[in-house]
Structure 1
Amino acid sequence: EILDWQRELRDAKDFMETLRIDLFTDEVYVFTPKGDVIDLPMGSCPIDFAYRIHTDIGNRCIGAKVNGKMVPLDYKLTNGDIIEIVTSGHSNGPSRDWLNIVKSPQAKNKIRQWFKKERRDENIARGKEMLEKEARRQGYDIYQLIKFDFMNNLLKRMSFTNVEDMYAAIGYGAITTKQILQKILDEFRKNIKPDKSELITAKIDTKSKTKKKVDRGIKIDGIGNLLVKFSRCCNPVPGDKIVGYVTRGRGVSIHRQDCKNVRRGLLDEDRLMEVKWEGFEDTSYPVEIQASAYDRSGILSEIINLIGDMKTNIDAVNARATKNGIAVVDLILEINDKQHLENVMQKIKKISGIYDVKRVMNQ
């Protein structure tokens, strides 16, 4: 009957308005080439449709036609669309990016199952890299965290046989890096208690002790078995003048000396200690910057492309336009040192229309 309406109503707007009367707004109704009706969650794409037809169709999908025309796989389906899936026997299977595109739980589950079954080694490597990156973004060293004994019980509670199973689960999308890292940090704080006397005397005895600990580009004299965490309020990078703050149960937090929390005296002075940059050459650090520009078409693309050309990773980006025609772009970048940061900011300033680029202090 719906197909008959579509043939009778030449005006597409009239057809869609008529269709909306009888259909729920939280679902989209589309058709196979033979006229079978398929219901999907609103916002679904051709990949959702393919997996709804058959798992094998989804796994071998390489393209799609909507109403007789080729469309990208992230195309948002609308009521009345006629979908035809293009498959290939030589397909390498689904892409991980599909997990960010599909809307139906059925499609997401089938994609995850494919990766879980077909690419365990790849999942382990990818999951390991993802967790390391997330831990580094939050200021932790994941390899230092997972060496503690509490990890064995944590893995069992999460139904993982070993650490590789955990990495694999992250790799194929069964659990997020933030979820895993939060559980690990919770266990660390419950089980690992730094020696109180050592914490109290850390600043006084630092210069007289010879034992040294180098971790993630930081040299700490006189302190052992403590985590190094980079403060997110000021995000220090090599080249910044820094100071360490011995926290209660969370290791040593590294701040810039010009951090507002330090300058305002919000940190207990007895817990401040001298630290130095050392051995940071192969490490990157998250830094947030903000670029302001006179809004014009393509400016965000130019910024992103320039940063990519400078071999700099972008962890997050957010762009917004104000009512007075100003575009504000916030970026979190992976920066090697202060000179690297200054080079990136200087390059961005040279883009036409940009009048200000600054480093953001999260305070």
Structure 2
Amino acid sequence: KSKIRSWFKKERREENIIKGREDIEHEFKRYGINIPPEDMENFLADDMKRHNCAELDDFYAAVGYGGIILSRIMQRLKDSYAKLSAAPAPKPVPFFPKKSNTGIIVGGESNIDVKLSKCCNPLPGEDIIGFITKGHGVSVHRTDCTKYVEAMEKKIETDRWVEVTWAENAKENDNPIFKACIDVVSYDGIMLIANVAAVTAEMRIPVSEMVSKTLKNGNANLIMTCSIAGVGQLNQLISKLRKIPDVISAERIIR
């Protein structure tokens, strides 16, 4: 009789594989177990080993002809799936492409002609988006730039906006090349320029322009343009400026 059963198992192997697969899919659906086909062998590996199944089809066939009773293993499979579902998904590793002469990667490609837009002056560390210009390469904007936001809202030339990222060599370093404008307001105008200059000198931040004036309310206003390595250094600079005695505010401005 065992020889006869063995012969029928081999003779009907393909039928048993199909039946076993369908039975497993039915039970998994009933218990809310959702395993992609490409992950099924790994998920069933322990039970395949217990039942001496070298391949996934062997396991399906055994289920199909009744050699493996699903009702006896479903609780264990449910527990395995619960542990699998409870495991935290791995965090995506931030991707910084390799070096680029421009410091910007456009659609995964380096060394494409790009320029930083003057309307929002993006800095390394800020989220950016690119716009394909006519004959002047790709213009890089911050994702909160009014031009980009308006284009998306009004659906204006949306196909010309492309994904861009900062290249690894554009991350903050000791050679600041990005421009930023900062607006400082203070009660005291006499020492404002000297105090601001002391802060930038201490941080070794090059300043290309300083313009000061007296506001109508008598407060002093200083707008300076400086070279910044990235958004981290910018935030540090603004924080130090706000700690200057008599300073009311210090903010980055776009002009």
**Amino acid of the structure 1 residue aligned with 2:119:** C
Q: Residue 346 of structure 1 aligns to a residue in which SS?
A: helix
2-structure distance, mates of 1:272, 1:360: 24
Give yes or no for contact 2:100–2:110 (8 Å, CA) kept in 1.
no
**CA offset at residue 222 of structure 1?**
5.8
1-structure distance, mates of 2:203, 2:98: 35
Q: 2:198 aligns with which of 288, 305, 318?
A: 305
Distance 1:323 1:225, change over 3 A: closer
Q: 1:255 aligns with which of 136, 141, 147?
A: 141
Q: What is the root-mean-square deviation in Å for CA atoms of aligned residues? A: 2.2
* Larger gyration radius, structure 1 or structure 2: 2
Distance 1:249 1:226, change over 3 A: farther
1-structure distance, mates of 2:201, 2:110: 38
Structure number with higher relative contact order (C-alpha < 8 Å, ≥ 6 residues apart): 2
Question: Could you say which residue in structure 1 is the equivalent of 2:66?
Answer: none
Q: 2:162 aligns with which of 273, 281, 301?
A: 273
Question: Could you say which residue in structure 2 is the equivalent of 1:346?
Answer: 239
Give yes or no for contact 1:212–1:220 (8 Å, CA) kept in 2.
no
211-220 vs 324-333, greater mean Cα deviation: 211-220
Aligned-residue identity in percent: 30
**CA offset at residue 297 of structure 1?**
1.6
**Amino acid of the structure 1 residue aligned with 2:125:** G
**CA offset at residue 296 of structure 1?**
3.4
Per-residue CA shift, 1:24-48, capped at 9, x if unaligned?
A: xxxxxxxxxxxxxxxxxxxxxxxxx
Give yes or no for contact 1:293–1:353 (8 Å, CA) kept in 2.
yes
Distance 1:294 1:306, change over 3 A: same
Normalising by structure 2, what TM-score?
A: 0.55
Per-residue CA shift, 1:42-91, capped at 9, x if unaligned?
A: xxxxxxxxxxxxxxxxxxxxxxxxxxxxxxxxxxxxxxxxxxxxxxxxxx
Distance 1:354 1:283, change over 3 A: closer
**CA offset at residue 308 of structure 1?**
1.2
| Aligned pairs for 1:14-29 within 5 A | none
Normalising by structure 1, what TM-score?
A: 0.39
**Amino acid of the structure 1 residue aligned with 2:241:** I
2-structure distance, mates of 1:213, 1:307: 29
Give yes or no for contact 1:228–1:251 (8 Å, CA) kept in 2.
yes
Give yes or no for contact 1:292–1:354 (8 Å, CA) kept in 2.
yes
**Amino acid of the structure 2 residue aligned with 1:231:** S
2-structure distance, mates of 1:322, 1:303: 18
Gaps in structure 1 of 5+ consecutive residues: 1-210
1:321 has 2:214 as partner:
yes
2-structure distance, mates of 1:225, 1:345: 32
Give yes or no for contact 1:216–1:283 (8 Å, CA) kept in 2.
no
**CA offset at residue 262 of structure 1?**
0.9
1:231 has 2:117 as partner:
yes
Give yes or no for contact 1:295–1:325 (8 Å, CA) kept in 2.
no
2-structure distance, mates of 1:337, 1:224: 20
2-structure distance, mates of 1:257, 1:236: 9
Question: Could you say which residue in structure 2 is the equivalent of 1:10?
Answer: none
Q: Residue 339 of structure 1 aligns to a residue in which SS?
A: helix
Question: Could you say which residue in structure 2 is the equivalent of 1:240?
Answer: 126
Distance 1:271 1:232, change over 3 A: same
